[in-house]
A = this chain, B = another copy of it.
Amino acid sequence: MQPRSADDTGLQVDLDRLPDHLGYLVRRLQRWIFKDFIQTLAPFDLRPAQYSVMTVIHANPGRSQMAVALALGIERARLVHLIDGLQARNYVERVPSANDRRSHALHLTRHGGIAFDRIRTLAAEHERRVAERVGPEQHKALLRLLAGFADG
């Protein structure tokens, strides 16, 4: 048996002004969502940022790293790192650009395309769980309210 400890974890903690900070609430929701995403996508060991990159490359084959980084609002160095990981798993390939030797055109490999079909199904399953967790009406309202942040 564990000795009974005189701790205070059962007592109410006052969060004071934290719930008035959108960043605090958004961060807590984001942590919950990402955890569920990672669990759902565990068969592919895929994180949300990798999924975003694969989605954009799938929908826009042949675009440059810079274009994808801009579209996702992430730094180029971070995208290069993400692409390195996806390339090591043979999901993505960099094809040297004919126009600009410094630039590479991004494509899903055949293997990446096959994986992406299944990844997409799991991501949709994850999103259904998110909608359940926040409530279907709230989910719609949140997508609408946050839409402006999808493009910068």
> Which residues does A use to contact B, with CB under 8 Å?
5-9, 11, 13-34, 37, 48, 52, 55-56, 58-60, 63-64, 66-68, 70-71, 73, 97, 99-100, 102-103, 120, 123, 127, 130-131, 134, 138-139, 141-143, 145-151
Contact = CB atoms under 8 A, between A and B. Distances in A.
Nearest to A25: B146
Number of copies: 2
Contacts of A134: 22, 145, 148
Contact of A150 (B5, B6, B24, B127): B24
Contacts of A143: 19-20, 22, 25
A52 B150 contact: no
B7 A56 contact: no
B16 A59 contact: yes
Given A13-B60, A13-B63, A52 B7 contact: no
Contact of A19 (B22, B31, B147): B147
A13 B147 CA distance: 16
Contacts of A56: 13-16, 18
B149 A13 contact: no
A30 B28 contact: no
